[in-house]
Amino acid sequence: MKQYLFAVHIVEGAPMPPQDEIQRMYRQVDDYNEELKASGAWVFAGGLQPTETATVVRAQGGKVVTTDGPFAETKEQLGGFWVINAADLDAALELAARASEACGGPVEVRPFQDEPPQV
């Protein structure tokens, strides 16, 4: 099995859905998480706080520099993620379609790098 990251994207400044819609999405994501667990695909998942809570840490010239805010200057930011096990990309894409449906947003699918061979 290969591991994949499903990254849920949010658009900064987009209007928030009504509270009842947000609660419906939370329930759908909870149901989806239970499906992943039951199927054995679940590894880990989590939602993220808003980008204004981010701190960027950089090691530069032997010093550590921290700055407030997100690293990327973009309107689209990471809102949450899943790490899943899937047999291949096609299986991961099928699971991602259900994830997008559950959370009501676009989901980027990226495979983890293969482990280097042990010497």
pLDDT digits (tens, 9 = 90+) for 100-113: 999 988 999 999 99
Q: Residue 6: enclosing H or E segment and its boundaries? A: strand 2-11
Question: Can you list the positions of beta strands (E) in 12-113?
Answer: 42-47, 55-60, 63-68, 76-86, 107-111
Domains observed in the chain: 2-111 (3.30.70.1060)
Q: Which residues, listed in sequence order, are joined to residue 44 by a DSSP beta bridge?
A: 83
Tell me: the pLDDT tens digits for 15-63? 888 999 999 999 999 999 999 999 999 999 999 888 888 898 999 899 9
SS3 31: helix
Q: What pLDDT, in 10s, does the model give residues 52-84? A: 888 989 998 999 999 887 776 777 778 899 999
